[in-house]
Amino acid sequence: MLHPVSSATVRLADTVFERMANAIIDESLAPGQRLRDGELAQSMGVSRMPVREALQRLERIGLVEMSPSRFTRVTIVTPEMAQGTLEFAGYYASSTIRMACLRMSTQQRTEATSAIDAIIADVKNHASPLAARRAFHRMILDIAANPFVDTISRDTDIALARNLQYVKLPLSDPNELVDSYEALSRALTAGDTDAAERIVRSQFAL
């Protein structure tokens, strides 16, 4: 279920958290599945302490629910939660693209448009653009260089990646998605902050 974790990891609980979060995202740990810290610790080759710490962190971002002395289980994403996540993701993405666009150097604009080209290529090749979109989002966060946003994004992005799997994204038509990202590329190249923010909002139907 979960591969062993190296005890040489500097922050073992962080590695356990990441491993468990990814297992929830890809449903290796299925929605509604009961979680037992002893079994999880054994499967990853660690003590119960980092597992318990990871479970508490997963609970804080809504991937796990815990009822003392009763159960710990993977949460089930309701339609209401998925829709609320989509709305939040739109405001989150559009605000970070605005911050990044205001601070981009010429080189960073080139790098950002190259990252968008990767998204477009995936869409045109009928491949999932999820990994390329997440890489682009990570780049935008780095360029935005806001310490507070960077701190909260570590856990927020995991919750978004999990919950957005359960909602249909507004731009589901491949041609519309390509057009949107091509427009975003032009806006970033021109340094048009308002246009970039508006385009990202439209991707989330805001």
**CATH number of the structural domain 79-203:** 1.20.120.530
pTM of the model: 0.84
The label of the residue with tokens 């427009």 reads 183
Contact 179, 125 (CB under 8 A): no
Strand partners, 74: 64
Per-residue pLDDT, 2:
66
Average pLDDT per run of 10 along the chain, which is 206 residues long?
57 89 94 93 91 94 90 95 95 96 96 96 91 92 92 91 90 91 97 97 94
The residues spanned by each domain of the chain are 12-74, 79-203
Of 65, 58, 66, 74, nearest to 17 (Cα)? Answer: 58
Residues pairing with 66 in the sheet: 72
Residue 72's DSSP bridge partners are 66
The tally of CA atoms less than 13 A away on the side-chain side of residue 187 is 21
- 32 neighbors 76 (Cβ within 8 angstroms): yes
The per-residue pLDDT for 9 is 45
Task: Give the Cβ contact number of residue 157 at 10 Å.
Answer: 18
CATH for the 12-74 domain, from 2.70.170.10, 1.10.10.10, 3.40.50.970, 3.40.50.300: 1.10.10.10
